[in-house]
Amino acid sequence: MQVHIKTYGCQMNERDSEIMGAVLKEKGWQICGNEEDADAIILNCCSVRDQAELKAIGKLQQLIKRKNEDENFLVGICGCMAENLGKELFRRIPKLNFIVGPRQIYRIGEAISLAIKGEKPAFLADADDVTCNCKNNKLHHRNLQELQSSAYVTISNGCNMRCSYCIVPKTRGRETSRPMEAILDEIQLLLESGIREITLLGQIVNFYGMGRFPMINGESPFVQLIRKIHNLKGLDRLRFLSPHPSGFRDDLICCFGDLPKLCPHVHLPIQSGSNRVLQLMRRPYQREKILEITQKLRQRIPLISISTDLIVGFPGETDDDFHETLCLFDEISFDMAYIFKYSRRSGTPAATMDNQVAQSICEERNQVLLEKLKHTSLERNRLFLNSIQPVLVEQHSKRDPNVLFGYTPHRKKTFFSAPSEMIGKIVSVRIQDVSTGCFIGTIIG
Ligand code: SAH
Ligand code: SF4
Ligand code: F3S
pLDDT, tens digit (0-9, with 9 covering 90-100), for 77-87:
999 999 999 99
The predicted pLDDT at position 132 comes to 44
In terms of domains, do 359 and 234 share one? yes
Handedness of CA 421, 426, 432, 435 (dihedral sign): positive
Cβ of residue 49 lying under 6 Å from some atom of ligand 1: yes
Ligand 1 mean position, distance from CA 77 (Å): 21
How many C-beta atoms surround the C-beta of residue 357 within 10 A?
18
pLDDT at 125: 87
Q: Is 6 within the bounds of a domain?
A: yes
The closest-lying atom of ligand 2 relative to the alpha carbon of residue 169 is: 8
Q: Does 259 share its domain with 242?
A: yes
Q: Which amino acid, one-letter code, is at 266?
A: V
- If one residue of 6, 12, 17 were mutated to test the ligand 3 pocket, choosing by the most ligand atoms within 8 A of its CB, it would be 12
- Ligand 3 centroid vs 362 CA: distance in angstroms? 22
Asked if residue 264 has its Cβ within 6 Å of ligand 3, the reply is no
Q: Choose the final residue of a domain: 344, 365, 382.
A: 382
Q: Classify residue 139: in a domain, yes or no.
A: no
CATH number of the CATH domain containing 397: 2.40.50
Give the DSSP per-residue string, 287-311: HHHHHHHHHHHHHH-TT-EEEEEEE
Same domain as 166, residue 117: no
pLDDT tens, position by position, 364-423: 999 999 999 999 999 999 999 999 999 999 999 999 989 999 999 999 999 999 999 999
Residue 126 pLDDT class (50, 70, 90 cuts) = low
The C-alpha atoms of residue 208 and residue 194 are separated, in whole angstroms, by: 26
367 and 289 in a common domain: yes
Residues 393 and 377 in one domain: no
Q: If pLDDT is split at 50, 70 and 90, which confidence band does 138 have?
A: low
Sheet containing 74-79: give its strands across: 30-31, 2-7, 40-45, 74-79, 98-100, 122-123
- 47 in ligand 1 pocket by Cβ < 6 Å? no
Domain count of the fold of the chain: 3
Domain co-membership, 328 together with 415: no
Q: For 306-314, what is the mean pLDDT? A: 98
Q: Round to whole Å and give the CA distance between 5 and 18.
A: 9
Task: Residue 88: give its domain's CATH number.
Answer: 3.40.50.12160
How much distance in Å is there from the Cα of 2 to the middle of ligand 2? 35
List the residue whose alpha carbon is closest to atom 3 of ligand 1.
Answer: 203
pLDDT for residue 292 is more than 70: yes
The residue contributing the CA closest to ligand 2 atom 4 is: 203
Mapped onto helix, strand or coil, the DSSP state of residue 337 is: strand
Residues 22 and 83 in one domain: yes
Residues in the chain: 445
- Nearest atom in ligand 3 to the alpha carbon of residue 203 is 7
Question: Which one of 123, 158, 176 terminates a domain?
Answer: 123
Is the beta carbon of 204 within 6 A of some atom in ligand 2?
A: yes
Q: Which of 18-27, 124-133, 210-219, 269-278 has the lowest mean pLDDT?
A: 124-133
Q: Is residue 422 assigned to a domain?
A: yes
**Rounded CA gap, 37 and 4, in Å?**
8
Q: Is 10 in the pocket of ligand 3 (CB under 6 A)?
A: yes
Roughly how many angstroms between the first and final C-alpha of the chain, as a whole number?
Answer: 45
- Ligand 1 neighbour 166 (Cβ under 6 A): yes
Identify the nearest ligand to the CA of 350 by its number.
1
Alpha carbon distance 225, 201 (integer Å): 13
- Helices 287-300 and 319-332 cross at an angle (nearest 10°) of 10
- Closest to 296 in 3D by CA, of 328, 263, 261, 253: 253
pLDDT confidence band for 145 (50 / 70 / 90): confident
Can you give the residue range of the structural domain that contains 422? Answer: 388-443
Whether ligand 2 lies within 6 angstroms of the CB of 163 is answered as: yes
Contacts of 62 (CB under 8 A, 6+ apart): none
Q: Are 333 and 414 in a shared domain?
A: no
pLDDT of residue 137: 47
- Torsion of Cα atoms, 52 then 54 then 55 then 59, to 10°: 140
What CATH number is associated with residue 356? 3.80.30.20
The Cα–Cα gap between 228 and 206 comes to 15
Q: The whole model's pTM is what?
A: 0.95
User: Is 133 a domain residue?
Assistant: no
Any ligand 3 atom below 6 A from CB of 46:
yes
Region 145-153: mean pLDDT is 88
Residue 132 lies in a domain: no
When the pLDDT of each residue in the chain is averaged and rounded to a whole number, the result is 94
Nearest atom (ligand 1) to Cα of 345: 22
- In whole angstroms, what is the distance from residue 236 CA to residue 178 CA? 23
In a domain, residue 305? The reply is yes
In this prediction, residue 117 has a pLDDT band, given cuts at 50, 70 and 90, of: very high
Same domain, residue pair 183 and 241: yes
Among 88, 123, 158, where does a domain finish? 123
> From the CB of 332, is ligand 3 less than 6 Å away?
no
Residues 392 and 377 in one domain: no
The C-alpha atoms of residue 432 and residue 443 are separated, in whole angstroms, by: 10
Instruction: Indicate the top mutation candidate among 5, 48, 203, 345 to test ligand 3's pocket, ranked by most ligand atoms within 8 A of CB.
Output: 48
**Nearest Cα residue to 290 out of 331, 258, 259:** 331
Same domain, 368 and 295: yes
In sequence order, what are the residues at sequence separation of 6 or more whose Cβ sits closer than 8 angstroms to the Cβ of residue 292?
none
Q: For residue 390, report the distance from its CA to the centre of ligand 3, in Å.
A: 31
pLDDT at 56 over 70: yes
Q: Decide if 189 is inside a domain.
A: yes
Model pLDDT, residue 187: 95
Same domain, 204 and 285: yes
pLDDT band at 140 (very low <50, low <70, confident <90, very high): low
Q: How far, in Å, CA of 249 to CA of 223, rounded?
A: 10
Name the β-bridge partners of 426. 392
Pick the ligand that lies closest to the CA of residue 163. 2
Cβ-Cβ contacts under 8 Å for 45 (sequence gap 6 or more)? 8, 9, 13, 52, 53, 56, 77, 78, 79, 80, 81, 82
Question: Does 47 reside within a domain?
Answer: yes
Whether the pLDDT of residue 212 is over 90: the answer is no
- Assess whether the C-beta atom of 159 lies below 6 angstroms from ligand 2: yes
Does the pLDDT of residue 151 top 50, yes or no?
yes
Closest-approaching ligand to the CA atom of 366: 1
